[in-house]
A and B are shown apart, each in its own frame.
Chain A
Amino acid sequence: MNKVFLILKHEFWQTLKNRSFLILTLSLPLLAILGVGIYQGVQHWYHPGAPQEVKLGYIDHTGMFGNFTSEPGVQFVLYTDEETAKDALLAKDIKEYFVIPVDYLSSGVITRYTTSREVAPSTKTTGQITDFLLSNLLAGEVSPQVLDRVKTPVLLASVRLNETGAIAPNQDVVSSYVVPIVFAMLFIIAIIFSSARLFQSVTEEKENRVIEILLSSVSSGQLLVGKVLGLGAAGLVQAAVWFITFAIFAQGAPGIIPALSALSVPASLIGWGILYFILGYLLLAALAAGVGSIGATAREGQGWTTIFTLPAVAPIWFNYFLINSPEGAVSRALTFFPLTSPVATMMRLANHAISAWEIALSLVILAGSIVLTMWVAAKVFRVFLLMYGKRPAFREIVRNIREA
């Protein structure tokens, strides 16, 4: 074990000192800071001061709309003829104007004139005009309270119940979507880069011809485990930096970006996240190292990395099943299949749609596959680390593993 630790330490520090690793690790926090800066700059530039009251002109051919000419944030200016209104529009006294025709009550048609190019009238403008029309139409007919309800009939509040009729925990829908997706993204990025680094590290020692010198001091198993753990620890540091960035960002988000304010992540979910992250990483790293020892060059690794990462991403494509029928066959298969299980389980955990035995079983399968993969990878390592040149055919690989 002592030598495993020495290899771990060596790989860990060598990775941390690597320039491209440092750049990659620090790029996310820098991008986040940059993003917030740009967002705030744009906000500032877009709204230089307090929002000014907008003026909308109108021509009323019915004579019914003269009582209420002000709604929140907007002032309605009555014009007697269209020419004056058009002049006012071109002089930018008003933002736009509209004409209420004589047959408005029977037709409901109102023509609007504006100088701005738009796909459809903004909901804000439509709402303001609607409120203006309602205020005048219903004046004296209903109480002000009823008028308010006519203008805004509903403010919807939803409560999700579980099968027993009790209020389901975690009413926070945003985090149940955001957390697994953030997890999956961190996980996938970390795996792509870590397995690429593992590949590189293995093929480099192979290409450098250091490998046989190493193997006279340590066993192939020790080398494999040391490398996977060392580079894994470096990958964890990287993911941690990114996660902390995300957490700080989300914490500060209500003040910075209002859209993220609904986010709250329960601590237990973070705990599960770390556990599944580590296990998923170990499995994919062992696979990458095993294949890396077979491959002749680091470049071949890129293709293989894709093959491993595809199943890891797959649960995101199947999120319909995982969220809507979490106990269905597809969801269970994704939860138990070791390559998809980290992301799938995280999605179900975030939605509180997984039972304890499923978590336990997925963990057991994942741990078992790690041990098995490591064992096979160590054998593959032993045989192929010393073979240079042409990449062997699949049948040859199987026979060589048997002979090892």
Chain B
Amino acid sequence: MKRAELVERVSRDGKANEAMNVVEVSGISKSFKGIKVVDSVSFSIGQSEIFGMVGPNGAGKTTTIRMLMDIIKPDSGVIKILGEPINEEVKDRIGYLPEERGLYKKLTVSQSLSYLASLKNMKKRLARERAEELLKRVNMLPHKDKKTEELSHGMGQLIQFVATILHDPELVVFDEPFAALDPVNTQLLKELILELRSQGKSVILSTHMMNQVEELSDRILMINKGQAVLYGSLTEIKSRYRNNSVFLECDRLPDGLPGVVGSKAHGKYTEIFLDGRVSPQEILSALINKGVKVDRFEVSTPSLNEIFIQVVKEG
């Protein structure tokens, strides 16, 4: 299917076409020195999607990404990117910001960008124009003729970000993008990542900082010790792992609510535990029927961090 058709189809359906995933990974494994670093991991990523890859340090995230980028070959399993096994033409349509990243110290920002863009088969003039545009966007245009060794670490990070998306890739992979960024630039980067999604790009966001992923991702893959432990839409996962409790702040807590098996006072608010057969909606309508004045009613959802800890404990 041609890209234009795909875009049209996606916009018509309002979501990624299941049949044409941007990334399709099935059962990849990789061992180093006899230790399985990645163990039969499968996932797929659709268009216009921010895909979070989370897990603690050393879980196998970077190895998985390096296999996607064809930097390391998997021992087994199949990887398809943009519908094909990775090849030179496909590489030109991917942007990759590795965790171990840097720039040529002796080259200027423009020189570095133009060389890296040329390796993505980008025309010189187009690359220059787009580089200016993007540098402007990250407020780095005044520094374009400076050697990168003259820039601060954070500025270097922004230049690397520009280099990653300079050639207008359809799939962008960020490995720990927020590492060593100050809060202002972290915010800027988040905005830019969301912008990429709105432009129809697919984004892989790999990080051990689960709260970052929680904020941005549509779907996630949670990896621990090389194995996929959770995979799916973030909302779905969160609802699956919520511990059936509701935070309630009201003038009085009535007795005889259906399906409530217990409660715990947290000072101003109370957490009530449900038996799982009654939905929070029913509790809320029961409260209103009983004439209770409700100030706060919140279905408790665990953070990804909590979910991770729970999953690891169960596993």
User: Given the complex, which residues of B lie within 8 Å of A209, measured CB to CB?
Assistant: 98, 100-102
State in angstroms the CA–CA spacing of A10 and B107 once bound together. Answer: 12
Q: Is A212 within 8 A of B103, CB to CB?
A: no
- Contact-residue bracket for chain A: 20 to 34
Any chain A CB within 8 A of the CB of B130? no
Q: How far is the CA of A218 from the CA of B115 in the complex (A)?
A: 12
At the interface with chain B, which of A1-9, A99-107, A145-153?
A: A1-9
Check A213–B116 contact: CB distance below 8 A.
Answer: yes
> B91 to chain A: which residues have CB within 8 Å?
216-218
In the complex, identify which listed stretch (B117-125, B210-218, B254-262) lies at the interface while the others stay far away. B117-125
Cβ contact within 8 Å between A214 and B119: yes
Minimal beta-carbon separation of B194 from chain A (angstroms): 23
In contact, B94 and A216 (Cβ under 8 angstroms) = yes
Whether B102 pairs with A210 at a CB distance below 8 angstroms is yes
List the B side residues contacting A217 at CB < 8 Å: 91-92, 116, 119-120
| Cβ-defined contact, B96 with A208, below 8 A | no
Residues of chain B lying within 8 A (CB to CB) of residue A6: 118-119
Report the Cα distance A208→B159, complex, angstroms.
14
Q: Mark B78-111, 1 if CB is under 8 A from A, else 0.
A: 0000000000100110101110111111000000
User: Is A219 in the interface zone, CB < 8 Å from B?
Assistant: yes
- Asked whether B271 is an interface residue with its Cβ less than 8 Å from the other chain, the reply is no
B72: A residues at CB distance < 8 A: 382, 386
A218 touching B103, Cβ below 8 Å: no
**Which chain B residues in 139-180 approach chain A with CB under 8 Å?**
160, 163
Q: In whole angstroms, what is the CA distance A3 to B88 when docked?
A: 9
Contact of B19 with A by CB under 8 A: no
Nearest CB of A to B74, in Å: 12
A388 at the interface (CB under 8 A from B): yes
In the complex, chain B residues whose CB is within 8 Å of the CB of A216: 69, 71, 91, 94, 96, 98
Complex CA gap A218/B70 in Å reads 9
Q: Does A16 contact B (CB under 8 A)?
A: no
A3-B88, A386-B71 are contacts. A208–B105 as well, Cβ < 8 Å?
Answer: yes
> Are A212's CB and B101's CB within 8 A?
yes
CB of A174, distance to nearest CB on chain B (Å):
45
**A2 CA to B89 CA in the complex, in Å?**
11
CB proximity of A403 to chain B, nearest CB, Å: 7
Closest B residue to A209 by beta carbon equals B102
Contact between chains at A208 and B98 (CB < 8 Å)? no
CB neighbours of A218 from chain B (8 A): 88, 91, 119
Residue of A nearest to B116 (CB): A213
Given contacts A7-B119, A218-B119, contact A386 B94 (CB under 8 A): no
Q: Give CA–CA (A6, B118) in the complex, Å.
A: 7
- With A212-B100, A213-B96 known as contacts, the answer to whether A2 contacts B121 (CB < 8 A) is yes
| CB of A404 closer than 8 Å to a CB of B | yes
Are A213 and B101 in contact (CB-based, < 8 A)? yes
Q: How far is the CB of B154 from chain A (nearest CB, A)?
A: 16
* A residues 235-270 touching B (CB-CB < 8 Å): none
Looking at the assembled complex, report how far the CB atom of A111 sits from the nearest CB atom of chain B, in whole angstroms. Answer: 74
- Residues of chain B contacted by A399 (CB below 8 angstroms): 33
Q: Which residues of A contact B100 (CB under 8 A)?
A: 209, 212, 386, 388
4 shortest interchain CB distances as A-B pairs:
A209-B102, A216-B96, A212-B98, A217-B119
10 contacts between A and B (CB under 8 A): A3-B119, A10-B115, A208-B103, A208-B105, A210-B101, A210-B103, A213-B98, A214-B116, A216-B71, A217-B119
